[in-house]
Amino acid sequence: MKNKRLRTVYFHNFSRFDGILILRYYAERGKKYKIKPLVRNHKLYELKVYINDKFLLRFRDSCTLLPSSLASLGRTLCPELGPKGSIPHEDLDVSDLRAKSEDLINYLRQDILILGGVMLKAQEINWSKYQIDIEGVMTVSALSLKIFRKKYFDDNIFHINIPTQNQDTFIRRGYYGGHVDVYKPYGENLYYYDVNSLYPYIMKSYPMPCGVPVWHNNLECQDLDNLFGFIEAYVVCPASISHPFLPYKDKFGTLIFPTGKFIGIFYSEELKFARDLGYHIIPLRGYLFEAMSSPFEGIISDLYESRLEAKKRGDEPMTFIYKILMNSLYGRFGMNPESTVTEICNQKRYEELMKMDNFQSAEMLTENYYIVNYITNSSFAEDDNWKAPKMSAVQLAAAVTACARIHMYPYISRPDCYYTDTDSVVLGCPLSDDLISSMEMGKFKLEYFVKKGIFLAPKSYMLETVDEQHVIRHKGPAKDLVTSEWFKKQLADPSLTELIPTHVNFRIDWKKFQIGKKDILIKLGLPQSTKRENVYDSENVWIETRPINVIDLGSKDATTILKYELLRLSVSQSTTEGQKTPTEALY
């Protein structure tokens, strides 16, 4: 290397493209180089390279620090360097490379120039504002956490408990994502609203679980209002609730919001909210915390105010940095300790890993290296093998998502709600003016006034706006193949399917660390919904959906549940006979 001081080299999207090629390059030269990659859940975060056992350099992904396209980052952080440019990837062939070499080299030079400008600007901003060098972290969530710990966190005021294996396993079962559902598949003259910074607003505004939790094995006779923490409970959702509130994971791991009777682990505050909606709740057991004012109020308030000020003065780089820092902090606390690790190792280490209980698979990469996949922090691991990530506190992430669902429910539950996705709702009537603000955190902004909207499934919708925009969203490999016409056909007949040949340009083979182009057939259609049931009118037109009814009493608490059901039956009979209903017994 010409520059001996150079230690970190960044590629944008290193973890999903360049890094795969570079890792294999060094692995095939194993007699000269030694490599130490950091791969988690099929994502290559870092590749350290050694020569004669001496550290040479490390490769990292700028995209995990600045999660946006390089073209967008260049426009925002260093517009003076000019546009990123583009090349027609589809038209390139190996035989053309020499003839097109000048254009390709100029394209690559501009790429490198912009990425260098982006990283230097980001480094300058974070150092001047927080005295933190971005080279010391690998992800934006780690950077946000580092700022929080350095400038805002006081463990003497709010102790963040790092859960034990038992605590993490239990509480994580009560960590659910955002609410995504289709209620009505078609509408006209609709209002598509987004909440300004929903998760940061919740982190700033709601009490959070503090300190070391205390396990309670029997909460059956406890007053729910006096409990704060994560509670396994038996819940009954009446069939009269058309837009149910409490989440439930089915046998496939799909998050649904059903009616019926089931047992789950929930944040105490969502159980109280559900009870007030008409749910019947029996707390069974759980970990109880101390409720304290949020430790995030300072950092979220400062970042949001700083972002607004940067916006007012037209400072796009600072606006972008503040936004990603604010939105990335929450996820760090919910990081799952269990992950798939991919290790590149020699034969001796390979033979050691093969004997581990959590071993998954292995392949020979080169003459000198093997690829081995294994699980760390498995839920079946012995306590001695449990190594929780630093500041992984699932109770905080689970509290944030639960309170976010509480915040959204008054709008999701409206009879004119057509669709919802985490922090957005599509309504048939406008919200009142006091709920609308493009500047105030936690309030709504009108994203689109929709002339016509088709909502086929979670994360699959088409909007025709009043200003003639066509907004199309579709999750999965077919996202680039769907059109407005396809949405209209699927609405008319949701059972329609077709096989479409297409190809994937950059398909990664994680067993061999190779990237290639692959021709595939995609089944384009709507899978049978497991989240809600479609409802059709007398002319077989799909007009709405209704909740799935769940009966899941699989639990060691059969006696408690049987007593409750017998009591409920008794209450029902007493009510029929005109006697007073002992509603307090239901709680």
446 and 570 inside one domain: no
The answer to whether residues 425 and 276 belong to one domain is yes
**Given this model, what pLDDT does residue 584 score?**
42
Nearest to 175 by CA among 484, 430, 401: 401
Do 449 and 577 share a domain, yes or no?
A: no
Do residues 515 and 20 make contact, with C-beta atoms less than 8 angstroms apart?
Answer: yes
Helix or strand (DSSP H, E) at 282: strand 280-292
Domain identity same for 483 and 568? no
Q: For 438, how many CA atoms within 13 A lie in the half-sphere containing its CB?
A: 4
Instruction: Judge whether 482 and 524 are in contact, CB under 8 Å.
Output: yes
CA distances from 44 to 7, 61, 134, 201, 342 (A): 18, 8, 18, 32, 9
Give the Å distances, CA to CA, from 181 to 122, 177, 421, 432.
38, 12, 7, 23
One DSSP character per residue, 194-220 reads EETTHHHHHHHHS-EEEEEEEEES--T
| Torsion angle, alpha carbons of 15, 17, 22, 28, to 10 | 110
The enclosing H or E element of 112 equals: helix 101-130
Strands (E), 67-152: none
**Of 241, 312, 322, 237, nearest in space to 281 by CA:** 237
Q: Please state at what angle helix 101-130 crosses helix 316-333, rounded to 10 degrees.
A: 70
Q: DSSP characters for 34-68?
A: EEEEEEESS-EEEEEEEETTEEEEEEEEGGGTS-S
The structural domain count of the chain equals: 2
Question: Quick one: how far is CA 335 from the chain centroid?
Answer: 10
User: What's the rounded Cα separation, in Å, for the pair 349 and 369?
Assistant: 10
Give the integer Cα–Cα distance in Å for 550 and 389.
35
> What residue has token string 């729910």?
224
339 to 50, 194, 251: CA distances (angstroms) = 26, 32, 21
**Backbone torsions φ then ψ of 348, nearest 5 degrees:** -60, -50
527 with 417, same domain: the answer is yes
| Residue 570: domain span | 562-586
Contact 244, 259 (CB under 8 A): yes
Q: Does residue 461 contact residue 453 with C-beta atoms inside 8 Å? A: yes
The secondary structure of the chain in percent helix, strand, coil, rounded to multiples of 5, reads: 35, 30, 35
Q: Is residue 570 located within the same domain as residue 459?
A: no
Same domain for 520 and 581? no
Judge if 279 and 411 occupy the same domain. yes
| pLDDT at residue 380, as a whole number | 56
Q: Are residues 416 and 284 in the same domain?
A: yes
Position 587 scores a pLDDT of 39
Is residue 420, in this structure, part of any structural domain at all?
Answer: yes
β-pair type (339-345, 280-292): unpaired
> CA of 487: how far to CAs of 191, 305, 471, in Å?
19, 41, 12
Place of tokens 């992800």: 139
Residue 252 lies in a domain: yes
Does residue 434 lie in a domain region? yes
Same domain, 470 and 510: yes
CA trace torsion 482, 484, 489, 493 (10° rounding):
80
Cβ burial of 366 (10 Å; 0-12, 13-18, 19+) is middle
CB 115 within 8 A of CB 123: no
Whether 570 and 507 map to the same domain: the answer is: no
Whole-number Cα distances in Å, 242 to 416, 429, 469, 552: 12, 19, 32, 19
580 belongs to a structural domain: yes
Rounded-to-integer distance, Cα 122 and Cα 114, Å: 12
Among residues 404, 325, 397, the alpha carbon closest in space to that of 163 is found at 397
Distance between CA atoms of 302 and 310, rounded to whole angstroms? Answer: 12
Helix (H, G, I), strand (E, B) or coil at 192: strand
**Does 399 share its domain with 479?**
yes
Rounded Cα gap, residues 16 and 559, in angstroms: 52
Mapping DSSP onto H, E and C, the string for 375-404 reads: EECCCCCCHHHCCCCCCCCHHHHHHHHHHH
Residue 547 lies in a domain: no
Q: Say if 20 falls within a structural domain.
A: no
Residue 216 lies in a domain: yes
pTM confidence score: 0.87
pLDDT tens-place values along the chain, 587 residues long: 555 677 899 999 898 888 888 988 888 887 888 888 888 888 889 999 999 889 999 999 999 999 888 998 998 899 999 998 887 766 677 777 788 788 889 989 999 999 999 999 999 999 999 999 999 999 999 999 999 999 999 999 999 999 998 999 999 999 999 999 999 999 999 999 999 999 999 999 999 999 999 999 999 889 999 999 999 999 999 999 999 999 999 988 899 999 999 999 999 999 999 999 999 999 999 999 999 999 999 999 999 999 999 888 888 888 888 999 999 898 889 888 777 888 888 888 888 888 887 888 888 888 778 888 888 776 555 656 667 667 789 999 999 999 999 999 999 999 999 999 999 999 999 999 999 998 999 999 999 999 999 999 999 999 999 999 999 999 887 888 899 999 999 999 999 998 888 777 777 776 667 777 777 888 888 877 789 999 999 999 999 999 999 998 876 666 666 666 666 665 555 555 554 433 344 43
Contact (Cβ atoms closer than 8 angstroms) between residue 423 and residue 409 = no
The answer as to whether 510 is a domain residue is yes
CA 299 vs. chain centroid, Å, equals: 21
One-letter amino acid at 223 equals D
